[in-house]
Structure 1
Amino acid sequence: MFALARRRCLQSAASTPIALSASIPTFLLPAFHTPAPRTFATTSPCHSKIGSAPLSLPPDVSFKIIVPPASGRGARVQPMSTVQVKGPLGELSMQVPAYLTINMDPALAGPTLTVQNSSDAKQRAMWGTTRAYLQNHILGVSEGHSAILRLVGVGYRASVEPSATTVEPTYAGQLFVNLKVGYSHPVELGIPWGVKASTPQPTRLLLEGPEKEVVMQFAAKIRMWRKPEPYKGKGIFVNSETIRLKNKKIK
């Protein structure tokens, strides 16, 4: 009943605010005013500028855009352009969405990406993502990406072998990573194409390759065999990964 009365008062206040202030005591007026919406942050939102930043292109890397043929009228899916990046360590390609445009003006510091509608959430998200992928490809074909795996544990060690007994090679000349991490059976993993593995120390495994996604995915696959545990600090650590130790459980 009180809610209905309050709603009627608010409707009448919107039409005749002077009459409301005259008929209601002053100390009750704040209860009939709708408060302004509050936000969690007092500062204005600041969007990332990664997408609009120019790509850093070394002189020994070629950056080529292959434009697809125009689709017929009424096509629901627009064809995507292909970017080919070639350098001393290899060649990589990546498809770019149709709403992204790459400006190759020599007057700019490097290739710059723009989107058709910067207010669209999907285009704004893929703007920075595509730019980051392209920059990783450029860095991969010029300098390469690497991942260092540390084997922490008594008797843990790794080696690179030319053959394996539990898995079959998927391409000619494939090498295999042999892990000894406390299992009774051998753990053998085939090294993906384009990735180079070496063991500078028995407890260190170095992975190198031009494509960052493939290198880090293979490192995660190796890490799955012995995830770092928080009680003794044993496991396979990738790069600068650490873990906070816990106290032993006491029953």
Structure 2
Amino acid sequence: MSTVQIKGPLGELSMDVPAYVNINQDPALPGPTLTVEDATDKKQKSMWGTTRAYLQNHILGVSEGHSAILRFNGVGYRSTIEKTATTVEPEYPGQEFVNLKVGYSHPIELGIPKGMKASTPQPTRLLLEGPEKEVVMQFAAKIRKWRVPEPYKGKGIFVNGETIKLKNKRTK
């Protein structure tokens, strides 16, 4: 395993690359190219594409950033960004919290992971931004888990333009 450092205007990320994957930087080509030692080996072949995808996500993350837009659909469903939380302890100094009101008797408070930014352009929208795609989408999934979209009324938390097909009422 070797570690690759990727730097950009939005930060710096590091990535572990298997020893049999080689990264070649050719000045004639627009970006790096990847090769493996044995292209017939099944494991090396599968890690070739996976490593390329992870590398592309890291490069895009430090240059442009990744984002996820969550849409709250339901009566009274909304979110806010708070500096402090009453039910959760901060994991690092200056951590902000997402406060969800999605139909429970209490508000749900979730700590925003380090390096991510969250904003609420509207009370029913939540914008998550960060350099690591995996962290952004994992946090979006963690929020979505509180109210998964349901197929009868169409209520729930939708991620990145997700839609569901509504079902008809159940009849006997």
Measured against the shorter chain, the TM-score band is over 0.9
**Aligned twin of 1:194:** 115
1:151-174 superposed Cα distances (whole Å, 9 cap, x missing partner): 000010000000111110000000
**Aligned twin of 2:82:** 161
C-alpha distance in structure 1 between counterparts of 2:29 and 2:171, whole Å: 64
Q: Confirm or deny that 1:247 pairs with 2:168.
A: yes
**Aligned twin of 1:92:** 13
**Aligned twin of 2:25:** 104
1:121-169 superposed Cα distances (whole Å, 9 cap, x missing partner): 1111111110111111111111100000000000100000001111100
C-alpha displacement of 1:105: 2.8
Q: Confirm or deny that 1:223 pairs with 2:107.
A: no
For 2:92, the aligned partner's letter is: Y
C-alpha distance in structure 2 between counterparts of 1:199 and 1:109, whole Å: 36
C-alpha distance in structure 1 between counterparts of 2:113 and 2:53, whole Å: 23
Structure 2 counterpart of 1:139, from 57, 60, 65: 60
**Aligned twin of 1:128:** 49
1:23-79 superposed Cα distances (whole Å, 9 cap, x missing partner): xxxxxxxxxxxxxxxxxxxxxxxxxxxxxxxxxxxxxxxxxxxxxxxxxxxxxxxxx
Tell which deviates more after alignment, 166-175 or 121-130: 121-130
C-alpha distance in structure 2 between counterparts of 1:167 and 1:109, whole Å: 46
For 1:131, the aligned partner's letter is: R
Structure with higher Rg: it is 1
C-alpha distance in structure 1 between counterparts of 2:70 and 2:30, whole Å: 36
1:94-118 superposed Cα distances (whole Å, 9 cap, x missing partner): 0100110111232333211000111
C-alpha distance in structure 2 between counterparts of 1:86 and 1:221, whole Å: 28
**Aligned twin of 1:73:** none
**Aligned twin of 1:185:** 106
Q: Confirm or deny that 1:172 pairs with 2:93.
A: yes
More helix by share: 1
For 1:199, the aligned partner's letter is: T
Is there any run of 5+ residues in structure 2 with no aligned partner, and where?
A: none
C-alpha distance in structure 2 between counterparts of 1:184 and 1:228, whole Å: 19
Q: Percent identity?
A: 81
C-alpha displacement of 1:248: 1.2
Q: Confirm or deny that 1:203 pairs with 2:124.
A: yes
Higher relative contact order (CA 8 A, sep 6+): 2
Is there any run of 5+ residues in structure 1 with no aligned partner, and where?
A: 1-79
More strand by share: 2
The alignment's TM-score, normalised by the length of structure 1, stands at 0.67
Q: Give the alignment of 1:8-87 within 5 angstroms.
A: 80-87=1-8
For 1:91, the aligned partner's letter is: E
C-alpha distance in structure 2 between counterparts of 1:107 and 1:204, whole Å: 43
